[in-house]
Structure 1
C-alpha cells in the first residue's frame, strides 16, 4: 500500500506567525505645534500595533517638515520601502492618504509596488485596506480627493489674473512670433516681423495657408520651436489680433481638473485696443481674414469645436499622458486584419518626442465597461464616503447662504435706486443730494455684484461636480452590470481619458474622479 504524506500549505503552517507591522507618519511643517503632533502620532502607533496580539511591532518611520507632494523627497518613506523589499515588513499602517501621498500617481505606484511584494497598507481615516477586493478603485477615488486641495489655490490665482485683465494691468508673459516681451510689454522683433508681413502679403495675394507654409519652409524661416511651418500656424498668425496692436485676454481657460479649453463664451474676455505697436495695418488684417474665411467656405472647412465634433465617441476625448497631445483615430493593419486604434498626434508626427503608442479602440471600450462595472459593484462602499468627503472639503453650504444674502441685498439696492429716482422726480430732494446718494448706492451695488460674481464662479465647479456625482450614483444604484461599451454612458459620465501607456489609462469623470485602469 502506498504511503501518503500530507504537506501543510504554507499559510496553514505559518498561521501562528505574527505579522510584522510598521507605521508611517508625516507632518508638513517644521513648526513646534506640528512636531508635537508628530510625537503624538508616534506614541499612538506604538500602542496601536503592540496592542494587537497577532501583530509584531516592526518599527516606526516618520518624516518631519517635508512636503507630501513627491515621494522622492521623503527619506523615511523610501527607507521603509527598502525594508519592505528586504522582507522585514508584512503590513503598513498610516493615518490617511494625505499623510502617505498627496499625489495620486505616487500613491498608486507605491501601493502597487507593495502589493507585488505581498504587503498591504491600512489607512485609518479612510478605513481602507489595500488587501481587499475593490481596494485599488477605492484608493484611486480617495487619492483624487486628497489631491484636490490644489484646486482652491489655483482658483485664487486665476481670480487675481482676471482682476488684472479687467483693470488693464496684466503683464504679458509670452510674445507671439514677431514680438519680444520685456517687463510685460510687447516690442516688435523686426527679424521675425518681416515674415509676419510676408504671411499677410501672401494671403492678400490669394495664396493658401498650405502654400504660405511651404514657402516659409523653403526659405528656411525658423519657427519659435525650431520645427516646420504648418498651415495651422499660418492661420493662427493671420487671425491673431496682436498683429494690429490689440490684445484679447482670456482666449483660453482652465477648468477645475486643470484641463485647458478654448474660451467660446464660457468665461469673460477683455479686449484692449492699441495695446502695443502693430506689425500690420487694420485694413490688411481685416482683408486677410476675409480671404481666409472665403477659402474655408470654398473648401467647406470648419474650425474650432465644429471640426470633427461627435464623429466618434472618443473624438476629442483622449489626451497623451506623456506629452499632452490629443489622440486621433487611425486604421491599423496587422497583416491578418485591420482595426481602428487611437494614437497620439505628436507620436505620429515626431516619434522622437513622445513614446506613447497607439491603443486599440476595442481596448478603450472594454476598459470603460470594466471601470463602470467596478463602480457598480462597489457602489455601496464608495459613493456615501465620497459624497461626504466632497461636502467636508468645501464650505458650499455657507457659500450658498452668502450668495442668497447677496442676491437679496442687490435686489434691495435696486429698489432703493428706483425710490431715489422717484423722490428726486417729485422734487423732494435736489439734484446734488440725489447724485451723492446715487453714487453711494452704485458703489455698494458694484462691490456686492463683484463678490457675487466671484462666489458664483467658485461655486460653479463644486456644484457641477456634485450634480454629476448624484447622476452616477443614481445610475450605479440600479445595480445592472454593463455587458459592453455604451457610447451614451461614456458621454454622460466621462470628461476625457489620459493614455499613460499601452498598459494603463486614466478615466477623468465629470464628477471629479480620476480612475486608473490597467489594460491589455
Structure 2
C-alpha cells in the first residue's frame, strides 16, 4: 500500500486571534531581500510565489497583492519604494492585514519598525510576523515586537561593522576601487584594473594645463562646454565645481587617498568628510598616471596661492562676501596679511559711512594687527589717482606687468610650455 501524507497546516494562536473579529480579511504580503545575487534573487521570487499561494489558499482571506523590494537595504525605510507604497495603500484602506516573513524583513531599525506598526494599528491594520509568530493586533504583540526588533537592529549593526571591517582591510592592503564611469580619463580592463582612456586623457591634461596658464575653473568649464566636449557622465555642460574637484584629485597623478569620507550612522547611511575622525590611507603609484606628480603639485600650490590671495587661506575663516564689493578681496593688511572687509560706521543713516577694516583686527583686536580702518571714499579717490597714473604712463605700466608675469611663469617653466608663455606675452603687447 502506498503511503499517503497530508499536511495539516499549523494554526498560530496570534493569527487566529487577529481573525476572530472579522470573517474575511483583505491581506497583502511584504517581502524583501538584501542583495542582488542570483541565489538571493531566487529567494526573492520564491517569497513572492509563496505568499501569493499562502494568501489565496485561505478562504477567510482576500488577496490584496504583494509588495516586494528587491536588493534594497533594510536599515532605512526611506529607500524602499514598495514598502512606502504599501504604507500609503494601507492608509487608503486597500487592505487590513500585512504578512511578512520576519521582523528583519520588515525593518532592522527599531524606531521605524515600531513607528509603522503603531501607525498601522491605529488604522486597524495588523502586521503578522511569520517567523516570530507575532500579531501586532494582539495585546502582547508590541512588547515582543520591541524586544525582537531591537535584536534585529543589533544584527544590522553587526553586519554593518563586519562590512566596514572588510573595507578597511582593503584600504590597508592598498586596494583601490574607483567608479570609472564617473572618473574622467580612465576605463577598466577585464581584471577590473584602471587603464587610461586615451581620448579622455587629452581633456584631463587640457584642464590642468589651462589652470597653470592662469585660467579659472569657471573659464575652463565654459571653454569645454563651448567646444562641445562631454563630461565623464556624458553631460554637455561643465560646472566649475567639477573642474575644481578634478584639479584636486590625486588619482590623476597615479596615487589614491582612501577613506576620504566615513559613514557616521549605519541606519541612515549618512556620510561625512573624514577630517581626522578615522585613519586615511595614501597609496602611491596605485594605477597609471595621467598627470605628472610635478604638475599636480604645481596645481595644488597654485590653488593655495589663489585661495590666499582672495583671503580664503584659512578654511574656517572664509569671508562671507568675497566679491560683493569692488574692493572685496583686493585690500590686505601690511601688518598681518589678512584681507580687509567692508563695515558700516555710524548709528543712524544721517551719520553713516562705510570703512574697510582688517579682518584680524576686527575679530581679535589691535594687539594682533595695528592697521586702522580706511574710509571707503578715500579708497575710491586713491583708486582714481592710480588709474589716471596708469593711463598717462601705459607703456611703463605694461612693461612692469609683463616683467612680473615673466617672473612668475619662469618659476613654472617645467610645467608650462615656453611657446604658451610667448603667445601670452604677445597678446599683452598688442
TM-score for the superposition, normalised by structure 2: 0.47
**Whose helix fraction is larger, Structure 1's or Structure 2's?**
1
Q: Flag the structure with more relative contact order, 1 or 2, with Cα contacts below 8 A and sequence separation at least 6.
A: 1
TM-score for the superposition, normalised by structure 1: 0.40
